[in-house]
Amino acid sequence: MAKNKKRNKNARLFAVIGLGRFGTALAEELARKGEEVMVIDRDREKIDAALSFTDNAFVVGELNADNLRETGIEEADVAIICIGEKLDVSILATMTVLKMGVKRVISKAKSKEQGEILSMLGAEVVYPEHDMGIRLAGKLVAPHILEYLTLGNGVAIMEIRLTGKVNGRSVIELNVRRNYGLNIIAIRHDGEITTDILPTTQLFEEDTITVIGKTADIRRFEEHLQQ
């Protein structure tokens, strides 16, 4: 096991158990964003690779309470269990971490049934493959939508590429709030992002705008851009 470094009392600690593609990408991105990250996996090569972005890297064969306690995982603010492929290991790891008193536990699931079991244990459940499929489908059917995040209750945040239809028009002239019930929260122009948006801010073809609003209203606006 790698030695656990002294914690910054003001930082949150994210513990990622399972360094498959999802777990590794998650841990690396959290570290890149400046968060304190702990990683746990049974594969030494994966742990050695993780030392490039965190000192808190542990080889743990069996995810029992004694082994996990040695890592200091009970100090984590959030633990993410990224072992969706092995149902029994996923359930046992989730249950163990919850019993250890970690404040927030998020578990990856591959199926609805697995998710229901993890949820019953008290974990928040994520479905990475399912969610990625939905996002990809959204991009395929709406080519001007680049990224989006579903917030629930039919509300989403989406980044939309503008077309020549709005070239040179100002934010107030486009008036997506009145016409579509949307609010613009960011504009990307020539690679630069701004959130300081004025009614007189001009919009150009190939700019992108990030909007928040009801998914159906965002779709209506995206369809308007294609007409």
Q: Are residues 175 and 189 in the same domain?
A: yes
pLDDT at 41: 95
Domain boundary among 126, 153, 185: 126
Nearest CA-CA partner of 99 in 122, 67, 124: 122
Name the residue with tokens 């593609």.
Answer: 21
Contact between 188 and 221 (Cβ < 8 Å):
no
Q: How many domains does the chain have?
A: 2
Is 4 among the domain residues? Answer: no
Domain boundary among 79, 100, 126: 126
CATH number at residue 117: 3.40.50.720
Amino acid identity of residue 206, one-letter, is: E
pLDDT at 85: 73
Domain boundary among 126, 150, 172: 126
pLDDT at 135: 61
Mean pLDDT in runs of 10 for the chain (227 residues)?
A: 50 90 89 90 94 94 91 93 84 93 90 89 83 59 61 81 88 91 90 89 89 87 79
Q: Are residues 106 and 120 in the same domain?
A: yes
Q: Are residues 88 and 163 in the same domain?
A: no
Where are the strands (E) in the chain, listed by range?
13-17, 36-41, 56-59, 78-81, 104-108, 124-126, 145-152, 155-161, 183-189, 192-194, 208-214
pLDDT at 80: 93
Is 6 among the domain residues? Answer: no
Q: Are residues 137 and 207 in the same domain?
A: yes
pLDDT at 10: 61
Is 5 among the domain residues? Answer: no
Q: Which domain holds residue 107?
A: 13-126
- The total number of residues written for the chain in this structure: 227
